């Protein structure tokens, strides 16, 4: 099976992981070191199309649709960060490897942090794009600047109401939100947005995606006491992110001993889409 368009230069298939079926896209030599690319909300594996292809020259690159998203299974439970981290550990094992470099954006980045905390034996390196470390979550909800940015999370807690509001008028709310990220259509086309809407409008996908947020109040219970991450780590942060305050990339050294932080004053929440060549270059150099 092939990806976006008949000639997409990656292969897609389904694998059994942690009691569910995940849909994955993969490229690169199967005997090369494994790199996993974990997407965020409201994306799916296609969010990583530039990095998937770029890194495939040197690595075996696998981009899954996370639990609940797009073509992956949408079970009624399992959206807590512990289970999501186990999904990634078991995916590594299912792919015949004992460890991987893990790259994550947004929710994929949160999961990557948690894998580094809970499953350090499977992590070769971590690269995170615009995703807060779990240690900052409690502080974030008390910080006025972040509280305003996170108002949508409170809305997402309204089970049923949030789904109906997002689905209304052909997912118009989601369409407007994504288009606002790139009003000039410099890096996000209408087709890109429609692909995301097609993926999240699959039966059960929207509610599954919102369950990630509905589990947030319990997230710290799964990562406490907080284990320090020893794996080499890279945090890439677009400072124009409307959802995450720039200070959330500060003072993380106590939680990750070998951490590099690179900030981008002109990039927003999706740096890997907004500046794919720059982000690819940094990931390639780090990995």
User: Exposed e or buried b for every residue in 209-243, given b needs 16+ CB within 10 A?
Assistant: bbbbbbbbeebeebbeeeeebebbbbbbbbbebeb
Cα 69 from chain centroid (whole Å): 11
**Which is the catalytic residue, given 69, 213, 241, 272?**
213
Q: Which of 65, 73, 106, 192 is catalytic?
A: 106
Please say if 218 is a catalytic residue.
Answer: no
152 is an active site residue: no
218/253 Cα distance (integer angstroms): 24
Tally the C-alpha atoms within 13 A of residue 227's C-alpha that lie toward its C-beta: 15
Sequence-distant (≥ 6) Cβ neighbours of residue 117 within 8 angstroms: 134, 223, 226, 227, 229
CA 206 – CA 167 distance, rounded (Å): 9
Query: Rounded distance, CA 268 to CA 181, Å?
Result: 8
Closest to 238 (Cα-Cα) out of 259, 210, 262: 262
The greatest distance separating any two alpha carbons of the chain, rounded to the nearest whole angstrom, comes to 48
Tell me how far apart the alpha carbons of residues 240 and 268 are, in angstroms, rounded to a whole number: 4
> Cis before residue 225, ω within 30 degrees of 0?
yes
The question of whether 269 is a catalytic residue gets the answer yes
Among the options 39, 133, 269, 272, which is catalytic? Answer: 269
Contact, 149 vs 243, CB < 8 A?
yes
> Which residues are the active-site residues?
106, 213, 269
């Amino acid at each position: 099976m092939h990806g976006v368009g008949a000639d997409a230069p990656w292969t897609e298939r389904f694998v059994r992981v942690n009691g569910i079926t995940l849909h994955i896209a993969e490229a690169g030599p199967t005997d090369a070191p494994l790199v996993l690319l974990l997407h965020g909300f409201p994306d799916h594996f296609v969010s990583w199309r530039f990095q998937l292809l770029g890194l495939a020259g040197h690595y075996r690159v696998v981009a899954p649709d996370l639990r609940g998203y797009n073509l992956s299974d949408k079970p009624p439970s399992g959206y807590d960060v512990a289970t999501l981290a186990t999904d990634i550990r078991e995916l590594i094992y299912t792919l015949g490897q004992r460890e991987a470099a893990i790259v994550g954006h947004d929710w994929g980045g949160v999961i990557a942090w948690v894998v580094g905390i809970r499953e350090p034996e499977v992590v070769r390196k971590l690269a995170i794009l615009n995703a807060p470390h779990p240690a900052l979550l409690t502080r974030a909800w008390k910080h006025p600047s972040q509280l305003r940015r996170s108002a949508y999370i409170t809305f997402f807690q309204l089970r049923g109401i949030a789904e109906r509001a997002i689905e209304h008028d052909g997912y118009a709310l989601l369409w407007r939100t994504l288009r606002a990220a790139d009003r000039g259509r410099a890096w996000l086309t209408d087709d890109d947005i429609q692909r995301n809407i097609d993926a999240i409008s699959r039966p059960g996908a929207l509610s599954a995606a919102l369950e990630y947020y509905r589990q947030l109040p319990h997230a710290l219970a799964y990562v406490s006491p907080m284990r320090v991450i020893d794996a080499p780590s890279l945090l890439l942060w677009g400072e124009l992110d409307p959802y995450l305050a720039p200070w959330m990339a500060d003072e993380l050294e106590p939680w990750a001993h070998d951490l590099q932080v690179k900030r981008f004053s002109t990039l927003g929440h999706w740096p890997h889409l907004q500046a794919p060549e720059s982000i690819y270059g940094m990931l390639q150099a780090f990995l």
